[in-house]
Structure 1
């Protein structure tokens, strides 16, 4: 490990860093203890607030809400990736009208608040809650992913495409067999990050009465018979959301490692270049 960019800490610096670390740990533990004390002091750990989660009806309500959340996310993720690919293709098109229309759509849907689009589709178009939620998430995340795809394609070295054209490959072959496979590896972390955003934004569904996970938690937290267990609901729902996001990140890392470990190269049939030029179909 090189130390060219920084000075090696001496004995005093090491002791100072150790002292800073110990002090920070003490402060964090103190804040955590103070938070736990407040929760106990306000009665957030009483049996009245936690016993309801042992009831079968409450568990089924939460599981049903979680299933609806995953359902909406699954639809939104697939449609967002598809819409992003279509809009990115349009933005990369050599035809100006197609490129202009695609750019206008991307900029419009990317600038619109997700909640506004969801409400418009739900109220103005009289759509079902699931349809409105998925459509709003698709339009926003698809436009963002379109820019991610376009930037990833442009990030590939220009010589890669030129070499493929020189071998007689058509534009579609160059895009699908040369540029996209290389760009996907670089884009994967950003794609997963945007899918995490889509997963978290499914919680907006409770505003249009879609019975997703947060909506189920809200019903439990607002129940007077259970002592308004708002904090217990948050303490149960939050780790599940965090766990789903971490699972997405783990899947992305697993796919990336698998691609690096087992790169696949497929043969592609290309047409012969026209006489007198290195590019197919030249004059």
Structure 2
């Protein structure tokens, strides 16, 4: 089979696999952001018991490979509970827990990167700690975290290839199935690699543009504040 015919025959299956890859990554990232915010806030808590829970979760997830986590959720938990878990559900849970631990560190770093004076000023205006955190600190932190969040999206997107071991027909698994039928390993892996590269390159461009846009907005706000002070 010539390469053009192979490409035409394989493209629909690979695009279907890519769609599943993007779906898993998107769902996992949404859940991971929620987990990251919760455990990031717990990690900066002054209560040792709350902070300890966050530290255990982060260290446990970051200290074990995603492959082991996926196997544990898909093969291990059903043996204990007796309930079979759908591969897609297991994949999303494993990837969400994995990315959530890294998101927690991103949120912790972003929140701690906001000047302490912002919280003090908000509290001096009568806002409670939680209100000041939600309305003042976190919005400022998110601006700094957006590039890191997109970078984690890219990492999670690549990590979905690991989930092929539990039977999810994402992009990598789709390529393996076609190779088993056609024996065209070089051409198929080249196609799969190019598809990953295109998506990740687009995300990288988006990250750089967002970072540039946020820096420009910050510069405009700083300039406006400066001229207000000068004209006062």
Report the alpha carbon displacement of residue 95 of structure 1 after superposing the two structures with TM.
2.5
Which residue, out of 115, 123, 132, partners 1:165? 123
Give the alignment's Cα RMSD to 1 decimal. Answer: 2.1
Find the counterpart in structure 2 of residue 92 from structure 1.
44
Q: Supply the distance in 2 between the matched residues of 1:192 and 1:262 (Cα, whole angstroms).
A: 19
Gapped regions of structure 2 (runs ≥ 5): 78-83, 222-232
Deviations 1:142-200, CA, capped at 9 Å, x for gaps: 01110111011111222222122122221122212222222222222222211111000
Structure scoring higher RCO (CA < 8 A, sep ≥ 6) equals 2
* 1:248 maps onto 2:211 in alignment: no
Q: Residues 1-283 of structure 1 correspond to what in structure 2 (within 5 A)?
A: 47-55=1-9, 58-125=10-77, 126-223=84-181, 226=182, 228-261=183-216
- For 1:193 and 1:180, the matched residues in 2 are separated by 19
Structure 1 stretches lacking a partner, 5+ long? 1-46, 266-283
Count of paired positions: 214
Contact map agreement 1:114 1:137 (CA 8 A) in 2: yes
Provide closer, same or farther for how the CA distance between residues 153 and 76 of structure 1 changes in structure 2, counting only shifts above 3 A. same
TM-score, reference length from structure 1: 0.70
Q: CA deviation at 1:257?
A: 4.1
After TM superposition, the runs of 4+ consecutive aligned structure 1 residues lying more than 6 A away are none
Decide which structure has the larger Cα Rg and report it: 1
Does the residue aligned with 2:2 lie in a helix, a strand or coil? helix
